């Protein structure tokens, strides 16, 4: 089954720096979504970008999508300690009757 693969697996930065995470996927999609998970908690939906969109912003988040390369990136600007979490990309499929498939995530650690 198709799956997003995030890169890097782990990222450590200082407060105020930008964090960039990448996601690659295998087959055609209708949309790609990013989620955040604080340790042991439920996932929280951050942003959805459709296959006909190239860039989307939400607060300090910027997501890009390159369907020709089957890749997406999530940029968090001016990171805060509270951004420490795991970040997952999730892809659907342009086939009916499928659910979101999640990658294994990038663990972001922001130190003050």
Partner 1 sequence: DSGVTQTPKHLITATGQRVTLRCSPRSGDLSVYWYQQSLDQGLQFLIQYYNGEERAKGNILERFSAQQFPDLHSELNLSSLELGDSALYFCASSVGREANYGYTFGSGTRLTVV
Question: Which of 48/75 has CB closer to partner 1?
Answer: 48
| Helices and strands in the chain: count of H runs, count of E runs | 0, 11
Residue with Cβ nearer partner 1 (82 or 99): 99
Q: Which is nearest to 31 in space by CA: 77, 79, 62, 63?
A: 63
- Min. distance of Cβ 16 from partner 1 in angstroms? 28
Tell which one of 13, 48, 61, 75 touches partner 1 (CB under 8 A): 48
Q: Which is nearer to partner 1, 59 or 112 (CB)?
A: 59
Mark residues 52-91: x for contact with partner 1 by CB under 8 A, - for none: ------------------------------------x---
Nearest to 17 by CA among 84, 77, 82: 77
Q: Is 82 helix (H, G, I), strand (E, B) or coil?
A: helix
**Kind and range of the H or E element at 67?**
none
């Amino acid at each position: 089954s198709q799956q997003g693969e995030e890169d890097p697996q782990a990222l450590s930065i200082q407060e105020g720096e930008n964090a960039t995470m990448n996601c690659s996927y295998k087959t055609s999609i209708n949309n790609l979504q990013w989620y955040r998970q604080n340790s042991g908690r439920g996932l929280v939906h951050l942003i959805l970008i459709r296959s006909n969109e190239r860039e989307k912003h939400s607060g300090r988040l910027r997501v890009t999508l390159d369907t020709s390369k089957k890749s997406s990136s999530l940029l968090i600007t001016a990171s805060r300690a509270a951004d420490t979490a795991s970040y997952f990309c999730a892809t659907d499929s342009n086939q009916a009757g499928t659910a979101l498939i999640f990658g294994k995530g990038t663990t972001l650690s922001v130190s003050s």
